[in-house]
Structure 1
Amino acid sequence: MVTKSVIFFDIDGTLLTHDKELPFSTKEAIFKLKDEGHIVAIATGRAPFMFEDLREELNINTYVSYNGQYVVLDGEVLFTNPLKISSLEKLTENALLNEHPVVFMDHEDMKANVPEHHYINESIQSLKIKHFPTHDPYYYKGRDLYQTLLFCPEGEEKQYEQNYQDFDFVRWHPFSVDVVPSGGSKAIGIKKIVEKLGFSEEHQYAFGDGLNDIEMLSTIKNSVAMGNAENRVKEVAKYVTKSVEENGILHGLQQVGLL
């Protein structure tokens, strides 16, 4: 009899290739895990509306989104950790002076504080998603936001890191940085789920490749870095599998003995 485990998968560079395609071997492996009674979940920096199609394709209803700020267990919201709006308002004013646009994000939509900017276009288009932010500079008012995107070249986020202690800044694109609540992470979101489900650490697994996966992979006992991950990510993982394009998910699941 197979002992039930819970497995968390990052999306970009882990489940999906650089071209945002889901390898057939990955899809097949996910369904085999589910058939054997395991719980399969997603842990991503993306907003919930950015991976609806993937959740439907893989029949996954448990996920950690916004790098841990919006957590759903079996279709029901389990935990939220919104941004501090007063600090966000100040950051946005500062960013405007620096000609660094921002995009406000809640669980349903995203809105830009400027009508148009090539940093936004390049970054969002790289995700190859259907959604694109429309213009609403006051979208932050009167609602919970779980993440904001700050658009600036690499290195220019340092000034914000020094001045806005309520936030953590995680770069995901040469032109874009995730702004999340300080101390928030995929690891904290995952902890909410595994505590609710009662899984011991021996039966928790996580796969990832990006800098925003470091805390997750260093916290989960059975952690797997993709072959295409950065060295800093590989260093904290217990296992390193092949790249996503080389059937890395299937290979990794075989490595850890789940398949």
Structure 2
Amino acid sequence: MIENTVTLVATDLDGTLLNNKKEVSEINKKAIRDLKQNGIFFGIASGRPVETILKTIEDWGMSKDIGFVMGMNGGAIYDYRLQSKEEYYLLDGEIVIEIMDFFKGYDVKFWILIGDDRYVNVSTEQTRAHARLYKENEIECDLYEFVKNRKINKLILNFDPDYQKVVEQRAREYKNDKCTGFFTAQNLFEFVDPHINKGFGIEKLCEHFGTSKEHVVSFGDDLNDCEMLMASGCGVAMKNARNRLKKVADYVSEYTNEENAIAHFIYDYILKEDQNV
């Protein structure tokens, strides 16, 4: 299954590393520590901003175990060792305004993430609770004024999950070769620069750490993980992953995120150690 020596492991968070309580299990933590002891870089690959991921990792007590963070679906890379962040291919504010105009009259809310601040056009108790869960500060403002003369990582559309097909159809009708869009959850759709995806992030990580994609293992569960799994030497989909992701994965785990799928794979196929997972 794994044909090359593994030097780098990247994982999505929600539905992958995290259980349904948004926690990292003790056995997953141990597996990550064991990777580090064997000289293998481990890091997070998420759509969240780097800044909020760093806060979350600190709360987990895992700052010493993680080598990097890929944030914004590949749009930003943070190196723990150097304590430095790089960002790539930001989205121009004029395009953001155009997209918001295109979705006028539709039942969607717009979010823009800058660091650990979430700027929104409509703030509700539900969205504020969601922001707190992800360690973001929600700020309601005029987004049209906010994005003037500004470049951002991405524009997020938030909506009721039952409205997903409506958003998908409208997004297909929007034509602009300077941006692309994709679902990151059943209630979230994101527009980014066409270069940006987690597969691009894997390429940048390999450049940064001096390795190649053949030596990378990645884990995911949702559609925004497709490019990452395809770009890796071994892409692993959770048992609970979307069917479209399973089709592009090199391996589909027999375990879900609730069943410590990552720890199972690390011990069975990377470290090849017997553990009571």
Aligned to 1:210: 222
TM-score, normalization: structure 1?
A: 0.88
The separation in 1 between residues aligned to 2:24 and 2:50, in whole angstroms, is: 18
Structure 2 counterpart of 1:181, one-letter code: D
Q: Is the 8 A contact 1:55 1:61 kept in 2?
A: no
CA distance in 1, matches of 2:250, 2:271: 15
Amino acid of the residue matched to residue 172 of structure 1?
Answer: T
Cα 1:132–1:170 shift into 2, 3 Å:
farther
1:6-32 Cα shifts (integer Å, max 9, x gaps): 111111111111221111111111111
Q: CA deviation at 1:142?
A: 4.0
Q: In 1, distance between residues paired with 2:116 and 2:133?
A: 18
Find 2:268's aligned residue among 247, 255, 258. 255
1:104 aligns with 2:128: no
> What is the CA distance between 1:54 and its match in structure 2?
3.3
Normalised by the length of structure 2, the TM-score is: 0.83
Task: Give the SS at the match of 2:13.
Answer: coil
Any residues of structure 2 matched to 1:95-244 within 5 Å, and which? 95-116=103-124, 120=127, 124=130, 128-137=133-142, 138-152=145-159, 153-157=163-167, 158-165=169-176, 166-241=178-253, 242-244=255-257
Aligned residues: 254
**Structure-2 change in CA distance of 1:115 and 1:42 (3 Å):** closer
The percentage of aligned residue pairs carrying the same residue is: 27
Give the gaps of 5 or more residues in structure 2. 273-277
* Partner SS state of residue 156, structure 1: helix
Structure whose residues are more often helix by fraction = 2
Q: Hey, what does 2:275 align to over in structure 1?
A: none
CA distance in 2, matches of 1:167, 1:67: 14
- 2:194, 2:216 → 1: CA distance? 25
Q: CA RMSD in A?
A: 2.3
Counterpart contact for 2:41–2:67, Cα < 8 Å: no
Listed one character per residue, the Cα deviations across residues 88-142 of structure 1 (whole Å, up to 9, x for unaligned) are 1111233343342201122342200234486x468x36x8323242102233234
Q: Partner residue of 1:53?
A: 55
For structure 1, the 5+ residue unaligned runs are none
Q: Secondary structure at the match of 1:139?
A: helix
Instruction: Tell me if the contact between 1:154 and 1:174 (Cα under 8 Å) persists in the aligned partners.
Output: yes
